[in-house]
Chains A and B, each alone.
Chain A
Amino acid sequence: MPLHVAVATRAFKRYSTYVGATLAGIFTNCVFGVILCFVYLEVWGANPDAGGYDASDAVTYVWLGQAMIMTVAVWGGGSPDDLAERIRSGDVVIDLYRPVGILGWYLSADLGRAAYHLLTRGLAPTVVGGLLFDLRYPADPLTWLVLLAAVPVAVTVSFGLRMLASLTAFWLLDDVGPRMLLGFAALFFSGLTVPLVILPGGLRELAMALPWATFLQVPADIWLGKRTGLEVVEGLAFMGGWAVVLLAACAWVLHRAERRVVVQGG
């Protein structure tokens, strides 16, 4: 466990080296946030309770989305990308003979990265959004605690998905394709382009059951108070369930992949 904490803090530090990139990213998040806010305000101005949200909910949702993009790495990236590169180059062998599991190692690294992105690219655009628009904040301190617990779970679900895509590199060598397909699914089904609550009937049910709902929609509903009491517990169980299932899938694929590795030379 101390080892995994060390891996996570190193990952945090690694990302915190690139201050310029972080500032640039925050700026980009703000630009996209502002654009979406005006569009949503127009939509909710004409239909004040679309999807059970009001205008204030919708605008808050936009900034929560901007905060989560990098934190859960909707577009991919993070430690699974490093692993894919190491599978291609053969360096993965070093990972395999370490006396710690690959999954735990890479998950810690990704959580470290996510912590950094949450504190910078999560927090800063939300502050900017809060200054520009009228946002809604949870009143109950307990809600804040629940959210604090929910974010790492969301990151773990996302990690599981990204890891599965990266592990295809053991078979395909070039994993850009699977990663891209994953990015496409994540972008839409996370509710980043439009809130899942305003999707038409059947599609909405489907989207709400898929793992990507844990990225933004479930945490946002907790934040906005759309889920209360038992529904919060239900939401957390849903997120935790996906995290467990996906990590198990990763472990199984990794186990299969280990049989394929051939070490050349010596």
Chain B
Amino acid sequence: MIQRISAVLIATVFLLVTIGLAGAGSNGNSRKGKYLYRKTCRACHKEGATGDRVGKPLSPISKTQADWQKVFDEHKNLPCNDQWEKLSEKDLKDIYAYLYGHAFDSPSPAKCK
């Protein structure tokens, strides 16, 4: 029984997080998100990045909306999670709005820039 309650609780928390971030697509400020993404993520996630922590080059069109959703849902598993933890909830919502809103399969895929 306890196990079942735990499972429901986990599922509920997961759902709330998911809904929260899905909602962020409309609540977050995509324009600010673009700025924050460039400021906080792009140093490591760009072509030719150097330093101790070099990530895969990324842009909004590197992933589908579902993939970005998954990244945000499961960022705790990412090697750069310590960097995520430094961002406020508002910043994360803004970055999400930018990446999700201009994803590979979005209605407005980002143009290379």
Do A and B share a complex? no
